[in-house]
Amino acid sequence: MISPSVILLLGWMIIPLSLTIYFSFLRYNLITPTGNPFVGWENYYWFLTDPSFKAAMINTLVMVGGILLITVIGGIGFALLLDRPMWGQGIIRIMVIAPFFVMPTVSALVWKNMFMNPVNGIFGRIATGLGFEPIDFMGQIPLLSIVLIVSWMWLPFATLILFTAMQSLDQEQLEAAEMDGAGWTSRFIFIVLPHLARAITVVILIQTIFLLSIFAEILVTTNGGPGTASTNLTYLIYVSSLLQFDVGMGSAGGVIAIILANIVAIFLMRMIGKNLDA
């Protein structure tokens, strides 16, 4: 009974994957038919030595790193906060989690126009109101703007996972530590943080896999620009394969993207595997 799923997934994985690898060794451009000769590692060479590849790699790292930093620290903060006794906790939690359900194109456009637009956006108006020169977010700090937008979308995810993990924390252990005179900081460092360590790792790994593929947010805000200032690896591959019609080059990029994602995936799969026997 598992065979339909296995066959489908196997086909889904092997056919495109082997085609990607195959194309990556061809000179294959959709607008200049050259008969697609085999060119060995040429595409990889050109892809890897292209200055925009270096820019895209740095941007990808900055994006993933920045978003992880904001969402993990913010997520721990929110999880601790929501775990405290308060009124209306359910409603507050819903408000915090809501951004996760907003589709990427909506979040990106709303932030770009309603908040980050230098003239009519709320940030711009606040800056002007205080007598500052408003920042042109997408022109001057495109990468940071995208980091902020995507962080807003993923902070709820980190919060939700860490909050779930917090609830399995043994309250009596905390109380015992408190009785023994442990202050808030030492309780946090020696009890809460070790308890959350596993959940934090999971958040980091899963988010990294998704964040490596950020695409729509870039497409509707900066188009990767100005220049390549906000182009990540995913977007660069999209540009070379679907905009420049360079199938060979795009495929070589695709193979590199797969290798990068797999490095993260190996660690993630190990953690899932450990938990599977339970």
Partner 1 sequence: MARSVSNRAKALNTAVAGTLGFLMFFPILWIIVLSFKTEEDAIRAPLEVLFNSGWTLESFFTVQERSDYFKHFSNSVIISLGSTFLGLLIAVPAAWAMAFVPAKHTKNVLMWMLSTKMLPPVGVLVPIYLIFRDYGLLDTRIGLVFVLMMMNLPIIIWMLYTYFKEIPGEILEAARMDGASLREEILYVLTPMAIPGMASTVLLNIILAWNEAFWTLNLTAAKAAPLTAFIASYSSPEGLFYAKLSAASIMAIAPILIMGWFSQKQLVRGLTFGAVK
CB of 23 to partner 1, least distance (A): 6
Query: Which residue type is seen at 212?
Result: L
DSSP-derived secondary structure for 131-151 = TPPPP-HHHHSHHHHHHHHHH
Query: Of 69 and 242, which CB lies nearer to partner 1 in the complex structure?
Result: 242
| Number of C-beta neighbours around residue 188 at 10 A | 15
Query: Of 143 and 264, which CB lies nearer to partner 1 in the complex structure?
Result: 264
**Helices marked H in 101-141 — which ranges?**
104-110, 122-129, 137-140
Residues contacting 41, CB < 8 A, separation 6+: 25
Query: Of 59 and 107, which CB lies nearer to partner 1 in the complex structure?
Result: 107
CB of 53 to partner 1, least distance (A): 14
CB of 190 to partner 1, least distance (A): 20
Query: Of 192 and 199, which CB lies nearer to partner 1 in the complex structure?
Result: 199
Residues contacting 158, CB < 8 A, separation 6+: 71, 72, 74, 75, 76, 78, 203, 207
Dihedral sign of CA atoms 132, 137, 142, 147 in order: positive
Query: Of 15 and 189, which CB lies nearer to partner 1 in the complex structure?
Result: 15
CB of 199 to partner 1, least distance (A): 5
Return the axis-axis angle of helices 89-97 and 51-83, rounded to nearest 10°. 180
CB of 165 to partner 1, least distance (A): 6
